[in-house]
Each structure stands twice: as C-alpha cells, then as structure tokens.
Amino acid sequence: MKKETAITALAALAQDTRLDIFRYLMEIGPEGAAAGKIAEHLEVPAATLSFHLKTLQHAGLILRRRQSQSLIYSANFEAMDGLLRYLTDNCCGGQPELCRPLPELQTKSGD
C-alpha cells in the first residue's frame, strides 16, 4: 500500500459517523447492507449517510454493488487488511517475530 492511500483511508476513518459506518459494515460481513438499513441502524439521516458513504468509498474502504433496486455497501476487507499490514510493516524494529500476529489481538474494543 502506498503512503498516500493509507493517509486517505485513515483520514476517512478519523470521523465519528464514518468510523461507526465502517465498523458496522465490518461487523455484518461481506454480504453488506442497503443504505437504508445502515441509516436505520446508526440513526443517521439519509443525506448525511450518503455523504459519508461516498467518502469511505473514495478511500477504498467500502464497496458498493447494485442488488435489484438497492445499492448494497460492504466493507472492503482486502483494503482493511492492506491498511493494517501497512501500519504494522515495521513493527518491533523490523523483527516481526517479536510482535503478536494480528489475529491474536483482542477483537472487541469494549465500546
């Protein structure tokens, strides 16, 4: 991953509503959800949601597909994996064997 791509992704996630949207899409998995369901779950007005979805999509963090009459949004797991790898690439002074692998990290943040 290029530095500019990582900066764009991190900037997109550095906002409350977008972070909530992304975490919700990560939680529900690759099947994703329609914009209306996301708005309802997060109690966000449709226009506000649309703005934030566009930002997340531009950053490459979410994917959009048409399913019948609905637009379905899902987390881009490949992009998230790339971002995590970019952030931890030089972990532990270049000795990755000293670092815990990502799958061993606690998965619930407690909020």
Residue 102 pLDDT > 60: no
Cβ proximity of 74 and 43 under 8 Å: no
Dist. CA 35–CA 32, nearest whole Å:
10
Per-residue pLDDT tens for 75-101? Answer: 999 999 999 888 887 777 777 667 666
Per-residue pLDDT tens for 48-61? Answer: 999 999 999 999 99
More confident residue, 54 or 106: 54
Say what the pLDDT of residue 88 is.
81
Residue 20 pLDDT > 80: yes
Domains in the chain, start-ordered, CATH in brackets? Answer: 3-104 (1.10.10.10)
Burial pattern 47-66, b for ≥16 Cβ within 10 A else e, equals eebeebbebbeebbbbbeee
Say what the pLDDT of residue 53 is.
98
Cβ proximity of 102 and 77 under 8 Å: no
Whole-angstrom CA distances from 68 to 37, 56, 65 are 15, 23, 10
Nearest to 73 by CA among 56, 93, 98: 56
